[in-house]
Structure 1
């Protein structure tokens, strides 16, 4: 990246494909430099700008660190800074990002701009921005390419997918579709919304606990239903109006989510809104939407950055990296690691 000058833009090809979706900035070269101008240039850039550091950046580079999409920091760099993503091999991690962004540059760029907005917006406004970006990408060529050859027929199920049990002032909600790894379908969304709405309307419910049946909390959105929306404006409104994640946010002070096994996509996006997230030692967390030509659409661009910062959120979302429970606890994505009782599974 040049230290001065006008941003070259995305260099769009004739078909609209960005030729320069990602740029690199080696922070080791900036140890003695004034970062103010570069930080402003990064903030105004449409491209994703990735910092790479093998030495701890001095405090005077703070404006630049804050402006970057994220910074990959080698093992010799202290990992306790939210703007830094600790990795064993920065060069390899940057190559991983470059490949991921190169496969779906439109979705990656939409995500980059979205993550610059959501931390500074109110929750409803941030969710509206996410829903708009997600619905737009549903009509894009990257998502269409991902869908080619994939099954789009939902598996019928004639029993409730969400179970709610009231015991005194406690409401226990169970995602109950273990045969599909609690994949988040349209029906499950509606049933979960109704269960959470009960807690919202009844202020005598002091505690809400959300769990998943079986060995997996949730494998994310039901892939059999992806792309079935025909009216993308209606899809935007439904996602915004009927998203259970919005209710979890409103109930956050009363809500605990207990996670075991996989919490993929919508699974961790929803859970991150809760005031308390407890994970089993085997739990892991994954946000794969960019690889599908999309952005997180269950509130993840709002909930996850609020817990771990937009830089580490960008790493998870762009790279699709799998985060284990220990890392999730250290970053603040979860609040506790504990073995779940058999009845929680």
Structure 2
């Protein structure tokens, strides 16, 4: 551990932070066990040691497996602006109603869309080949149950604009129709979803325009308003916006082989499909910050322990052409 990253409690108490750091660490094992009145700097502050310490709740998180200090320091060091904005959004949105929190998340994302860190990622990313087949969202109604199936297995169910708009429409129907009491969200293939289609990143470069588009078409808006009737099952990879959508659901189950990741920091941005809100409300602001700033994959067992999923269970693969999604 880099001793230079250690922050003295007196500094946090004074609010005089001096030079900006990419990341600060507080050794909780050295502190007296008493609540402390701290002001956090505009960059991330994580605790190491006893996460049950009364002072731990004031921090952006406490380092715990599977996230290591070295990984956290390395990731934040490469993308300090994205890390700083991420924790500021998490801090600000924690007490807010969901709709207001989504607005702040989108504004934070827009700031980072115009950053040098994101521009560098856009310039350096490899050319992404087009998927061999277009994606679709299959929506069917059986009585009081609305079934939504994400169907793009050849692209690991990466969500393109057409699919995003279809999800927005499907969740809007679920929100507005009081006769729908259950919404089953599933996906085909080996992966639940690998997030937004990387081939579409950077196509809207103006942050204000992108923010306006999110306000009108982000599936998180109607989904958050009908979340209590939504259940999701995750198999395989659940990454980025796929996880951000799933985490809103009232009930989330996962297969034993499922794994979860928020990789956006490496792109110079933050989770912008609602994940700063949905993931934080499922597992708490601090563990959400750990996932976002480290980009670490977590397995199904960790997801269950943290509360990201409600149960581990295996379901048969879904074929939207011959699916029976109503047997549970």
Do they fold alike, i.e. is TM over 0.5?
A: yes
**TM-score normalized with structure 2 length:** 0.89
Against the structure 1 CA distance between its residues 158 and 95, is the aligned structure 2 distance closer, same or farther, given a 3 Å change threshold? closer
**TM-superposed deviation, 1:227:** 1.1
The structure whose RCO (Cα within 8 Å, separation 6+) is larger is: 2
RMSD (CA atoms): 2.1
Identify the match of residue 213 of structure 1 among 185, 188, 211: 188
Native 8 Å contact 1:9 1:47 kept in 2:
no
Give structure 1 regions of 4+ aligned residues with deviation exceeding 6 angstroms: none
**Residue 343 (1) aligns with residue 321 (2):** no
Matched position secondary structure for 1:278: strand
Relative to structure 2, which stretch is displaced further, 142-151 or 273-282? Answer: 142-151
Against the structure 1 CA distance between its residues 311 and 168, is the aligned structure 2 distance closer, same or farther, given a 3 Å change threshold? same
Unaligned runs of 5+ in 2: 1-6, 321-328
Report how many aligned residue pairs link the two structures. Answer: 312
Distance in structure 2 (CA, Å) of the matches to 1:326 and 1:34: 32
Matched position secondary structure for 1:4: helix
- The residue aligned with 1:28 is 29
Identify the match of residue 51 of structure 1 among 47, 53, 57: 47
In the TM superposition, 1:63-78 aligns within 5 A as 64-72=55-63
Matched position secondary structure for 1:148: helix
**TM-superposed deviation, 1:47:** 2.4
**Residue 87 (1) aligns with residue 65 (2):** yes
- The residue aligned with 1:114 is 89
In the TM superposition, 1:1-345 aligns within 5 A as 1-5=7-11, 6-9=14-17, 11=19, 20-30=21-31, 32=32, 34-36=34-36, 39-40=37-38, 43-53=39-49, 55=50, 57=52, 61-62=53-54, 64-72=55-63, 86-87=64-65, 93-150=68-125, 155=130, 161-343=136-318
- The residue aligned with 1:83 is none
Distance in structure 1 (CA, Å) of the matches to 2:276 and 2:266: 15
Against the structure 1 CA distance between its residues 159 and 149, is the aligned structure 2 distance closer, same or farther, given a 3 Å change threshold? closer
Native 8 Å contact 1:152 1:223 kept in 2:
no
Distance in structure 1 (CA, Å) of the matches to 2:102 and 2:51: 35
Deviations 1:17-52 (A, max 9, x none): x5x12111111111x36542xx41xx3322211111
Distance in structure 2 (CA, Å) of the matches to 1:129 and 1:154: 33
Against the structure 1 CA distance between its residues 190 and 136, is the aligned structure 2 distance closer, same or farther, given a 3 Å change threshold? same
Distance in structure 1 (CA, Å) of the matches to 2:167 and 2:236: 20
Deviations 1:252-279 (A, max 9, x none): 1211111110110001111111101111
- The residue aligned with 1:82 is none
